[in-house]
Amino acid sequence: MTRLLTDDGVGAAEGLACDEALAQRVGRGASPPTLRLYTYRAHCALVGRFQDVAHEVELERCAREHVGVNRRPTGGGAILMGPDQLGVALVVAGAERRRPRELMERLSRGLLRGLAELGVAASFRGKNDLAVGGRKLAGLGVYRDPSGALLFHASVLVDLDVALMARVLRMPFPAVGERELAVLAGRTVTVRRLVGAGVALDDVRAAVRRGFGADAEPTSLTAAERGDVAALVRDKYATREWVFQRTDVPDTAGAAELCTPEGRLDVRVALAGGTIKAAHLRGDFFASESAVADLEGRLRWHSSDPGAIAATVRAWSRGDGALAPEPLARAIAAAVERAREPSDPYGCFATPEASRA
Amino acid sequence: MPPHVPRDRRYDADQHLWARHDAGTGRVRVGVDALGLESLGELAYVALHDLGTTVRRGEPIGSLEAAKMTSTIVAPVSGELVARNDAVLRDPLRVNGDPYGDGWLVEIAATRWEEEAAELLADDAIEPWVAAEVERLART
């Protein structure tokens, strides 16, 4: 069985240090495989392992609104965590090497089972999300410890304060209006929106616990584990060297426009070096906003290679009457090309319409 | 077609790193092998420890991210980091594009090459390992 840990209201440094300490200890056989289901204090902005904090987070607003800022050991983009986002940390001992997508798909099965128990029919999308109807419900990430132990992270949106997210995570527009907030809200979905406002976070936690088949009763960290967590807080997660470290990979952004007989399509992309970290599409001829959200999600943390973009767009289009995939893929590739030219970077947990920026 | 795994160097089978020893300088150049890259996909980020860092075999010398999975890069041999390929820090796709050439990661002035080389795969041991890894990747 997998040990269960639960805690709530944890600080950013403490929450992340605990997960890494568990990975280290499970890897060397000092702690059992563990499922930790927890929430952060209101609120914490957590960037991906290699992201530039200043490009992803509105640091002054975070300070004003007492939003903690830190860096995850796992990859991916910036997220906002708080009392209504369930943090999932599954730590398992060394496993044979698999492709990241396969690992994440395998490690997220328990989460999918738990969500299904609540009546939420989520599915694995692209290489990095759980989605419902094309809208993101949970972000995923994995960290492989030197021992080979795996730390699987998921952030499940039980609910989401979209306005707060738009204030503290950097967006590619100078002001957030009702329209931008609506677009942001349309790119995500929450458990409460799907199941009902009465669902408590503890209900979601219990279902996810059962989905993973973890122990029914939570235990506490041992004294040795608490010592390891405290050391990691002190030596790593509470240090400026960790939180504000910089990467040499440039963040860039680019846009392209596609005119078709059906209408006009605006495409914006944000790159981290050669990787698409976010894409935003806007056009009035798509079948549904969820189709747009789905394609944007598939393109997140995606190769910027034109062939790979074309393959993903083809797989997404499924011949359902949306825009023909070839010109759409070419427009995205054109935006990527423009992003390779020097420009101002911006962060992208979600990228609403930005043509007025 | 199986990934290219040249026989002019040794391999850390668990970590999917190659190590090429220069007998003249005692330096060991290190990179990610094609099988490891086949498994990881395109690298989004690479970080490497500072020059002058002393490491033992199995200790971290950096980290990388591919498809939202981060991994620690561990030293295949003990010694001091004496060179670092800063070009891959700016453009990690160089590793995917030329893993055995321009995509190298670090050079280590090895202090225990004779003993530790025996723990790395070489020569006739390479092909069976490659075949087994290709089969495993095909299964997953």
Architecture of domain A3-243: 2-Layer Sandwich (3.30)
Partners of residue A306 in chain B, C-beta under 8 Å: none
Q: Give the predicted TM-score (pTM) of the model.
A: 0.91
**The pLDDT of residue A25 is above 80:** yes
ipTM: 0.91
Q: List, in order, residues 6 or more apart from A77 with CB less than 8 Å away.
A: A47, A48, A51, A56, A139, A277, A278, A300, A301, A347, A348, A349
Asked whether the predicted pLDDT for residue A354 surpasses 90, the reply is no
pLDDT value, residue A216 = 96
Which of B40, B42, B74 is opposite residue A275, by nearest beta carbon?
Answer: B42
List, for residues A125-167, the tens digit of each pLDDT value. Answer: 876 789 999 899 999 999 999 888 999 999 999 999 999 999 9
Domain boundaries, chain A: 3-243, 251-339
Report pLDDT for B12.
Answer: 96
Does the pLDDT of residue A321 top 60, yes or no?
no
Instruction: Please name the residue of chain B whose CA is at the shortest distance from the CA of residue A73.
Output: B70
CB contact under 8 A, B90 and A127: no
Residue A342 has pLDDT above 70, yes or no: no
Alpha-carbon distance B24 to A323, whole Å? 61
Chains A–B, number of C-beta pairs less than 8 Å apart:
108
Across A9-17, average pLDDT: 98
pLDDT at A147: 86
- A10 pLDDT band, cuts 50/70/90, is very high
Answer whether A83 touches B (CB < 8 Å): no
pLDDT of residue A128: 75
Q: How many domains does chain B have?
A: 1
Domain A3-243 and domain A251-339, same fold? Reply is no
Q: Does B61 contact chain A (CB < 8 Å)?
A: no
Q: Has residue B2 been placed in a domain?
A: no
Determine the CATH number of domain A251-339.
Answer: 3.30.390.50
Domain that holds residue B91: 10-139
Confidence band for A285, pLDDT divided at 50, 70 and 90 = low
Residues of chain B predicted below pLDDT 70: 140
Q: Give the domain CATH number at B39.
A: 2.40.50.100
Residues A52-88: pLDDT tens digits? 999 999 999 999 999 999 999 999 999 999 999 999 9
pLDDT exceeds 80 at position A262:
no
Residue B140: the pLDDT is 67
In a domain, B1, yes or no: no
Inside any domain, residue B127: yes
| Burial (CB count <10 Å: 0-12, 13-18, 19+), residue B14 | middle
Contact A247 B45 (CB under 8 A): yes
Helix (H) / strand (E) element for A265: namely strand A263-272
d(CA B57, CA A222): 30
Q: Using the beta-carbon criterion (under 8 Å), do A101 and B58 form an inter-chain contact? A: no
Query: In angstroms, what separates the C-alpha of A75 from chain B's closest C-alpha?
Result: 4
A210 CB-side CA count, 13 A: 11
Strand partners of residue A79: A46
How far does the CA of residue B114 sit from the closest CA of chain A (Å)?
A: 24
Do the domain assignments include residue B5? no
pLDDT, average across residues A218-231: 98
User: What is the Cα–Cα distance from A56 to A78, expressed in whole angstroms?
Assistant: 6
Q: Would you call A127 and B67 a contact, using CB atoms and an 8 Å cutoff?
A: yes
Q: CA-CA distances (angstroms) from residue B1 to A31, A114, B24, B121?
A: 42, 40, 35, 21
pLDDT for position A341: 80
What value does the mean pLDDT take over residues A88-111? Answer: 88
| B54 Cβ contact list (under 8 Å, min separation 6) | B79, B80, B81
Strands B69-74 and A135-144: parallel
CA distances A106 to A50, A56, B56, B113, Å, are: 24, 29, 33, 38
